[in-house]
Amino acid sequence: MAATKDPAGPTHVIVLAGGLSHERDVSLRSGRRVAQALREAGHAVTESDVNAQLLDVIAGMDDPIVFPVLHGGAGEDGALREVLDVLGVEYVGSPGRASHVAFDKAVASPLIAAAGHATPRQAALPQDMFRELGARALVDALAAGIGFPMMVKPAMSGSSLGCTRVDNAAALPAAIVTAFGYGDVAIVEEFIEGRELAVSVVDLGRGPEALPAVEIQPLSGSYDYAARYTAGETRFIAPADLTPDLAARCSELALAAHRILGLRDISRTDLIIRGGVPYFLEVNVAPGMTETSLVPLAIEAGGLAFGDVCSALVATARARRAAAAPA
């Protein structure tokens, strides 16, 4: 797989990073890396946060391409992308509505399951229901319907923030309350024991293609926030040591999730392999781009240069803008 060079040459790119989510610091690190890579590829780059000056920054440029590297919250829920659509500003990544669906685990996972792919058993629990029905009744129902161990996590968050493995009924209420600290809906799902992998999908000008899978082996046994973003805390195997058949099925699952959810340009699907079967966990429309993030590792494993891929994504967005322009 080779990244397609941008035939039109350099573009003015606005790299958006930061925001107000719990993942702000990671976003800033991702944004700096993307911005530097694009500069080295010859693009003019402006780095911007999401603030009151952003629209003026966009208006002051001649047809820029926006490259959002915003994680969590308003960065991945599609809201900002819908604003860019209204403004007629082209950007790298999935459209607003698709981003919102992908970001909401209570919506995305059932859609993937309905298409015939393996997913953990899952229940979505709104905070008001937890409050009205009471913890005791819900704990009994969830224990019977899902069983232990289970994973409790916010419906709309990332970087494993607010996620807790629960091994018994006594620990479940506190785990649910922790998840509510990151949003109004908690996901309670079957905990799948197995090999944890991530498969990235990119469109470098020829349509969506899956990069090599990356296997994740956290030293602590849990791929939490510290394991994700602290160098040396996790062993990454890129490409993952998989049989050709299993590697193909992991790639097919990531491509299917990308297609089913209406995504474009770039996504990363997280999955677990149990008994030779890949299980869909979640998908990210603005995956991390730091030195310890999974997409850059997959890019390297695919024999590509990070800067070439970032530049090709910009070219894909610019080609989409050109195709939509009136004749």
Q: 10-residue block means of pLDDT along the chain (327 residues)?
A: 54 91 87 97 94 91 93 82 94 96 94 97 90 82 92 80 90 92 91 95 95 88 55 84 97 98 97 97 94 93 97 95 77
How buried is 253 (Cβ within 10 angstroms: 0-12 exposed, 13-18 middle, 19+ buried)? buried
Q: Are 320 and 230 in contact (CB under 8 A)?
A: no
Q: What is the pTM of this model?
A: 0.90
The CA distance from 208 to 185, in Å, is: 31
Tell me what pLDDT residue 89 has: 95
Q: Where in the chain is the domain with CATH 3.30.1490.20?
A: 122-190
Which one of 282, 293, 302, 318 is the catalytic residue?
A: 282
Annotated catalytic, 104? Answer: no
Of the listed 90, 203, 270, 308, which one is catalytic? 270
3-state SS class at 110:
helix
pLDDT of residue 292: 83
Among the listed residues 21, 94, 157, 159, the single catalytic one is 159
For residue 76, give the amino acid letter: E
**Which position among 72, 75, 183, 288 bears the catalytic label?**
288
User: What helix, strand, coil percent values describe the chain, rounded to 5?
Assistant: 40, 20, 35
Give the pLDDT confidence score for residue 11 in this predicted structure.
80
Respond yes or no: is residue 282 known to be catalytic: yes
Catalytic residue (one of 81, 195, 228, 268): 268
Q: Is 229 a catalytic residue?
A: yes
pLDDT at 327: 58
Q: Which CATH architecture has domain 1-118+193-327?
A: 2-Layer Sandwich (3.30)
Q: Is 23 a catalytic residue?
A: yes
Residues of the chain within CATH 3.30.470.20 domain(s) are: 1-118+193-327
Q: Which of 30, 251, 267, 284 is catalytic?
A: 284
pLDDT for res 231:
59
Torsion angle of alpha carbons 166, 230, 299, 157, nearest 10°? 40
CATH number for the region 122-190 comes to 3.30.1490.20
270 is catalytic: yes
